[in-house]
Homo-oligomer: A and B are copies of this chain.
Amino acid sequence: MELFTSTYENRIDRKGRVSVPAKYRSILEHRNEPLILTRALNLPCLEGMSAERMNQIADAIDALDAYSEDAAILQMIMASAQEFRPDSEGRIGLPDEFLAHANLDEMVLFVGVGRIFQLWQPNAYHERENISRNAARSGRTPQLILKPRANGGQNGDSK
Contact = CB atoms under 8 A, between A and B. Distances in A.
Given A42-B67, A52-B153, A58 B135 contact: no
A36 B57 CA distance: 23
A100 interface: no
B152 A61 contact: no
A81 to B, nearest CB: 4
Given A34-B1, A58-B114, A115-B58, A72 B147 contact: no
Given A135-B69, A151-B156, A1 B54 contact: yes
Interface residues of A, number: 71
A74 interface: yes
A157 interface: yes
A123 interface: no
Contacts of A80: 6-7
A149 B54 contact: no
B114 A57 contact: yes
A129 B64 CA distance: 19
A89 interface: no
A32 to B, nearest CB: 9
Interface in A46-62: 51-62
12 contacts: A1-B51, A5-B36, A5-B79, A6-B82, A52-B153, A69-B142, A73-B132, A74-B142, A76-B132, A76-B133, A79-B112, A150-B158
